[in-house]
Amino acid sequence: MTHRTRFASLAMLGIGLLLAPAASLGAQEFKIVAHAATDVGDLSAATAARIFLKQDKKFPSGSVATPVDQAKTVAVRGTFTREIHSRSVSAVETYWQQQLFSGRDTPPESKAGDNDVLAFVKSTPGAIGYVSAGATVPAGVKVITLK
């Protein structure tokens, strides 16, 4: 594969990630959570995808968004990635490698599990993350509804 062909393939992956509709969000196996002071109550799956890919740096309200990911080996990350990005974790990792290589951006900080994500979101104004559906959401963190 030539350099030009490889670049075109990576560019198409990025466009696909941006434009891909989310899979059915019926019975969710995760919750999207945000800092309690965040002025967002609900998000479309497409907007959530753009925020977690750092294509949108702000929430629709205009406040700064700070996404946080789960470690790539955590099961809920695979579910979230399939549902929100309509891609595999490895495809999103490839997207971030392209962003890093081109000097555009770095991936969101990654946490080891639900408790670490909840602690980060609680202590970071503007933070948004996701946790397992059964995770207990503490005071200082709110659940964002997907519409």
> Where exactly are the structural domains of the chain?
3-146
Q: Residue 56's closest CA among 15, 18, 97?
A: 18
pLDDT over threshold 60, residue 63: yes
Using pLDDT thresholds of 50, 70 and 90, give the confidence band for residue 14.
Answer: low
Share of the chain above pLDDT 90, in %: 78
Amino acid at 58: K
DSSP structure class, residue 90: H
- Predicted pLDDT of residue 120: 98
- Predicted pLDDT of residue 28: 73
Instruction: Give the whole-angstrom CA distance, residue 135 versus residue 147.
Output: 21
**Superfamily of domain 3-146 in the CATH hierarchy:** Periplasmic binding protein-like II (3.40.190.10)
pLDDT over threshold 90, residue 1: no
pLDDT over threshold 60, residue 93: yes
User: Following CA atoms 130, 131, 136, 139 in sequence, which dihedral angle do they give, to the nearest 10 degrees?
Assistant: -30
**Whole-prediction pTM:** 0.81
Instruction: Give the whole-angstrom CA distance, residue 90 versus residue 83.
Output: 14
Residues with Cβ within 8 Å of 129's Cβ and at least 6 positions away in sequence, in order, are: 32, 33, 34, 67, 68, 69, 70, 111, 117, 118, 120, 121
